[in-house]
């Protein structure tokens, strides 16, 4: 009797092991099928761009309008401006003069003014000053941003310094250096004009190098990693609840450098949804080419 029980036990155990192995094998098969049907999002984007024709600047509206006008953003507000850096031609705009919460993009105003103060610094202060600018832009260090604003003499001093760059003081309202205050306001034109103005200054390299680089460092280290964008975007991110912004430069090898500002404000919407929409627009800009 005990022998029969022991035999039945081993038979049952063997069957259980075989069933478990079958389930595991089936699970791996399902995972492989799912991976084939749903490859990583970056790869999907890369394949989509690689297999799609480039687009002319005149066609950008048909590509970017569906993103900003998507039902997801029915309750939100967008401010977008994209220009050729070389010619100043507007390639795309959507409510570019709408005043929105810019979050950490406000840091661009302070750092642009701080860069222009570099020639006036004694050598002993220069290294610390440059490090501060880099921390504010690349790593979006809020404490350092407010400290830099204070050392520059406050918001009125910033306004005075950046006005000659072509930044209309009526297009923004700055209350801090960090951008944490929701009382800050700016238009997409504010940042595009600032970035264009900075590109013509002798100290532009300091400013340009202080920005985060797509897929490489700072707040963009894990964003815009598609091969079409990797290392080709230098920009400042902005993040608050219900707010996402990105302003900077895109080096498009088939068109030339672009300068852009993208801001979206929508209370209650997932930050990831807003960030993905902005990144999708930048990726589309990488497809632009000169059409003759």
Tell me the per-residue pLDDT of 188-217, one tens digit each, with 9 for 90 and over: 999 999 999 999 898 899 999 999 999 999
- Region 61-72: mean pLDDT is 97
Percent of the chain scored above 90 by pLDDT? 74
Do 111 and 207 meet the contact criterion of CB atoms below 8 Å apart?
yes
pLDDT at 4 over 70: no
Question: Sorting pLDDT into bands at 50, 70 and 90, what band is 53?
Answer: low
Torsion angles phi and psi, residue 100, rounded to 5 = -130, 170
C-alpha distance from residue 185 to each of 109, 225, 266 (Å): 12, 29, 15
- Region 50-61: mean pLDDT is 77
C-alpha distance from residue 138 to each of 36, 123, 177, 187, 207 (Å): 36, 23, 14, 21, 10
The pLDDT value recorded for residue 98 is 98
Tell me the per-residue pLDDT of 110-135, one tens digit each, with 9 for 90 and over: 999 999 999 888 887 889 999 999 99
The pLDDT value recorded for residue 168 is 97
Do 218 and 235 meet the contact criterion of CB atoms below 8 Å apart?
no
Do 183 and 155 meet the contact criterion of CB atoms below 8 Å apart?
no
pLDDT at 242 over 50: yes
C-alpha distance from residue 23 to each of 19, 30, 31, 35, 156 (Å): 6, 10, 12, 18, 68
Residues 6+ apart with CB under 8 A from 53: 287
Question: Sorting pLDDT into bands at 50, 70 and 90, what band is 273?
Answer: very high
């Amino acid at each position: 009797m005990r022998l029969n029980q022991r035999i039945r036990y081993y038979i049952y155990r063997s069957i259980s092991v075989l069933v478990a192995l079958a389930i595991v094998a089936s699970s791996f098969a399902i995972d492989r099928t799912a991976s084939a049907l749903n490859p990583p999002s970056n790869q999907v984007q890369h394949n989509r761009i690689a297999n799609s024709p480039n687009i002319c600047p005149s066609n950008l509206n048909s590509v970017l309008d569906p993103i900003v006008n998507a039902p997801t953003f029915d309750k939100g507000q967008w401010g977008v401006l994209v220009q050729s850096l070389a010619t100043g031609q507007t390639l795309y705009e959507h409510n570019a003069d709408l005043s929105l919460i810019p979050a950490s993009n406000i840091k661009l105003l302070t750092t642009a003014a701080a860069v222009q103060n570099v020639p006036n610094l004694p050598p002993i202060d220069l290294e610390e000053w440059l490090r501060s600018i880099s921390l504010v832009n690349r790593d979006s260090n809020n404490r350092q941003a407010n400290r830099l604003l204070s050392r520059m003499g406050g918001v009125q001093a910033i306004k005075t310094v950046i006005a000659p760059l072509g930044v209309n003081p009526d297009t923004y309202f700055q209350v801090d250096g960090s951008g944490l205050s929701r009382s800050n306001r700016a238009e997409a034109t504010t940042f595009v004009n600032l970035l264009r103005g900075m590109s013509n200054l002798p100290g532009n390299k300091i400013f340009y190098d202080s920005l985060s680089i797509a897929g490489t460092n700072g707040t963009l280290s894990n964003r815009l990693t598609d091969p079409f964008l990797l290392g080709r975007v230098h920009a400042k991110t902005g993040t608050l609840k219900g707010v996402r912004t990105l302003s900077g430069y895109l080096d498009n090898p088939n068109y030339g450098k672009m300068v852009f500002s993208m801001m979206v404000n929508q209370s209650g919407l997932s930050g990831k949804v807003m960030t993905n929409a902005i990144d999708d627009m930048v990726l589309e800009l990488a497809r632009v080419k000169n059409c003759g």
